[in-house]
Amino acid sequence: MISFEPNELSQRQVHSYMLGGIAPRPIALVSTISEDGILNLSPFSFYNAFGSNPPIIAFSPARRGRDNTLKDTYNNLLSTKECVVNAVTEFMTEQINLASAEFEPDVNEFEKSGLTPIDSDLVKPKRVKESPFQMECKLIQMINTSDKPGAGNIAICEVVKFHIAEEILNDGIIHPDLIRHIGRNGADFYTKAFGEAVFSLKKPPSKPIGYDSLPDYILKSGFLTANNLAKLALSEKIPTLAESENYYNSIPLTEATENTFWVYYHNNNFEKAISCLKYLISINSYKALTLFELLIQMALDNEEIEKAWFLVIYYRKFYDKNR
Ligand SMILES: Cc1cc2nc3c(=O)[nH]c(=O)nc-3n(C[C@H](O)[C@H](O)[C@H](O)COP(=O)(O)O)c2cc1C
């Protein structure tokens, strides 16, 4: 473990570790307008949402580490108190990279990046036509964290109008595969927040039993991962031995060799694999204990949590006998 206090490293190094360690970050493509009417567009990944009533977002146009100067976005925001925050999608990646270049304050960054400005309804800064999620915002507070190079200025803004393209909605929900967000990691790395990178996770019940209620013999399992065990810990109650026996007794017996078991196991056929295992147990196969653990894992991976619990409780019988 590398451990340090921030003043032991250069600002650059601290910044680099923060970028890598606090990731992936959403990217705000922020549109502002100068007092002279020059359009500005820049990406900011020190950005997030902080409440929905009223809807609040914040991002950080920081002081440049190189020369401690302030960014055009910061200056524009302070003078006009308005911006539009646009979501960044895979189709705009190279263009937002262009928009991040340090153009002079009198340069129109929509023109430089090739992105299309469209009028907003309630604020002067333009929306980015190519972005399917746009928020018209008013600055409510700017916090300066210090006046040193690399210091963050936190622009806290209230969203006064949302614009959402219909094509990113599925049953009224913004679907990751439709909006196709890009996120920011450290160094030159970016993240695609869609496709194989996306998975779903059900919210926990109001009172899960918790890790500390898991039986000791299952915590010692050589196969079950921390994620497997946490799935068991997310349950609201542990089944009784009688319920588990009922389940086990209802499993049909399939005459099998160990190889038959493996065929079903590798084809993710839980019902067949468990009925082979029941047979192997009935003939006192010496591997039954190990195979039992594998099937608990298979049930958990297949989201068959109740069946996994029945097996966990029933498993105790063999565990006590064989260990
Ligand atoms: C993906 C991405 C994320 C960025 N995030 C930030 C950020 O959170 N804060 C910041 O000050 N600069 C950030 N930058 C750099 C600014 O976009 C860059 O300094 C830009 O030139 C500022 O433009 P402006 O002077 O027109 O406001 C980021 C750049 C990229 C490409």
pLDDT in tens, 169-216: 999 999 999 999 999 999 999 999 999 999 999 999 999 999 999 999
Taking CB atoms within 8 Å and a gap of at least 24, the contacts of 114-119 are 115/41, 117/31, 117/39
Nearest atom of ligand 1 to the alpha carbon of 76: 27
Cα(127)–Cα(117) distance, rounded to whole angstroms?
6
> E strands, 185-253, where?
190-192
Å from CA of 44 to ligand 1 middle: 5
For residue 60 and ligand 1, the question of a CB distance below 6 A is answered with yes
- As a whole-number percent, the residues of the chain with pLDDT over 70 amount to 98
- Band of pLDDT at residue 322, cut at 50, 70 and 90: low
For residue 102 and ligand 1, the question of a CB distance below 6 A is answered with yes
Specify the pLDDT at position 321. Answer: 67
- For a mutational test of ligand 1's pocket, the pick from 25, 64, 71, 153, i.e. the residue with the most ligand atoms closer than 8 A to its C-beta, is 71
Nearest atom of ligand 1 to the alpha carbon of 30: 27
Residue with tokens 């065929």: 263
- pLDDT at position 71 over 90: yes
Å from CA of 254 to ligand 1 middle: 63
State mean pLDDT over 78-92.
98
CB 109 within 8 A of CB 41: yes
For residue 184 and ligand 1, the question of a CB distance below 6 A is answered with yes
Specify the pLDDT at position 141. Answer: 98
Two structure tokens written together for 206: 């109001």
- pLDDT at position 320 over 80: no
Cα(145)–Cα(131) distance, rounded to whole angstroms?
31
Which residue, judged by its Cα, is nearest atom 5 of ligand 1?
A: 44
Cα(2)–Cα(193) distance, rounded to whole angstroms?
29
pLDDT 10s digits, 252-275: 998 999 999 999 999 999 999 999
Which residue, judged by its Cα, is nearest atom 14 of ligand 1?
A: 44
Residue ranges covered by each domain of the chain: 6-197, 211-322
Nearest atom of ligand 1 to the alpha carbon of 59: 8
Å from CA of 2 to ligand 1 middle: 28
Cα(136)–Cα(46) distance, rounded to whole angstroms?
18
State mean pLDDT over 83-95.
98
For residue 63 and ligand 1, the question of a CB distance below 6 A is answered with no
pLDDT 10s digits, 289-298: 889 999 999 9
What DSSP line would sit under 117-151, residue for residue? EE--SSSSSPEETT-SEEEEEEEEEEEE--SSTT-
Q: Which CATH architecture has domain 6-197?
A: Roll (2.30)
Nearest atom of ligand 1 to the alpha carbon of 43: 17
For residue 145 and ligand 1, the question of a CB distance below 6 A is answered with no
Cα(125)–Cα(142) distance, rounded to whole angstroms?
18
Specify the pLDDT at position 254. Answer: 87
CB within 8 Å of 130: residues ≥ 6 apart: 89, 91, 92, 95, 115, 116
For residue 30 and ligand 1, the question of a CB distance below 6 A is answered with no
Nearest atom of ligand 1 to the alpha carbon of 75: 27
pLDDT 10s digits, 117-171: 999 999 999 999 999 999 999 999 999 999 999 999 999 999 999 999 999 999 9
For residue 31 and ligand 1, the question of a CB distance below 6 A is answered with no
For residue 150 and ligand 1, the question of a CB distance below 6 A is answered with no
